[in-house]
Structure 1
Amino acid sequence: MTIRLKFGTPEPGVAYEPRPTAFGLAFDAQGRLACVEVDRGEGPYLDLPGGALDGDESESEALAREFGEETGLRVRAVARIAEASQLFRKTDGHPVDNQAGFWIAEVLAAEPGLKCEDDHALVWIRPEEALRRLRHEAHAWAVAVWLRRG
């Protein structure tokens, strides 16, 4: 994947590890967006559900797995709507370049047994609120892409 749109300001002299990722935009019947509030002891932040591809997973496979692990929802990737990268440092300080595909995800079922990431909590919020609160600029941009599709 060749990413042309990049978010984040690179720190001089820092090498960012390329990290293929997939994130999902899923909505409930009231039009609210599924997000995850992550709290690892340094204050909570908001992300779209998703994460890194494992091994030879496709984006849609990684999205379904990560969504379940973080939210307890079983989803299906429906349509890839955007791609962008985000430079940042993970919680452990490791610099990464999240090279993300952003997908519309259909919620198939609530399956609490899928959830295994205790520091992630599912929250449903209005997309406009997500624009203000999402930690990563690339995530907010993907929500804006969806909103503009109308």
Structure 2
Amino acid sequence: MKLQFGTARPGLDYIHRAATFGLVERDGKLACVRVDRGEGSYFDLPGGAVDGEESEQQALVREFAEETGLIVEPEDRLTEAAQYFRKTDGSPVNNAGGFWTVRLTGFDASTQCEDDHELVWLDPLDAVSRLRHEAHAWAVVKWLRSKI
């Protein structure tokens, strides 16, 4: 059974969206994405929607490339969780899927196509306090505890 984060607001019809997110570490820092929304900017783990017939692993590789330019290989599915939230356009969504540990294998700036996404490396505890979604913060804590 997966954990559900966020609160569904009455009267809103939340669309189920298969999604996947990844955790990759370099020099003690965690890859995060700063999404530029002016004063409403926020931090997420790299990842996003699983499109069509993609597997979570395929979506994760694509999303990392599009958002950060990082080339990654998914390793282990750490956990699963869902998060109610409203997208930037206001539409209600329930992202549900896996959080993966991934291995960094390279960088290719030409793959990054989401201009409002910026790769930032955060201390994992800083990430816990700054990530927009509770599910993402929880996954980081679970990942940190798995390393003990």
TM-score range normalised by the length of the shorter chain: over 0.9
Alignment of 1:127 onto 2:100 = no
Any unmatched runs of 5+ in structure 1?
A: none
**What residue in structure 2 maps to residue 87 of structure 1?**
84
SS in 1 for 2:54: coil
Distance 1:31 1:78 in 2: 18
Residue 40 of structure 1 and its aligned partner are, at CA, apart by: 2.7
Superposed CA RMSD in Å reads: 0.9
Cα offsets for 1:35-93 (capped at 9, x unmatched):
00001334210000000011100000000000000000111101000100000000000
Residue 4 of structure 1 and its aligned partner are, at CA, apart by: 2.8
Distance 2:71 2:37 in 1: 24
**What residue in structure 2 maps to residue 112 of structure 1?**
109
Cα offsets for 1:11-32 (capped at 9, x unmatched):
012111000001000011x110
**What residue in structure 1 maps to residue 14 of structure 2?**
16
Distance 1:4 1:144 in 2: 16
Letter aligned with residue 127 of structure 1: P
Alignment of 1:77 onto 2:74 = yes
Percent identity, aligned pairs only, is: 58
SS in 2 for 1:23: strand
**What residue in structure 2 maps to residue 62 of structure 1?**
59
Distance 2:69 2:2 in 1: 32
Distance 2:84 2:105 in 1: 32
Aligned length: 147
Distance 1:67 1:27 in 2: 13
Per the normalisation by structure 2, the TM-score is 0.97
Distance 1:83 1:4 in 2: 6
Alignment of 1:146 onto 2:143 = yes
Distance 1:33 1:4 in 2: 24
Any unmatched runs of 5+ in structure 2?
A: none
**What residue in structure 2 maps to residue 50 of structure 1?**
47
Letter aligned with residue 21 of structure 1: A
Distance 1:44 1:5 in 2: 26
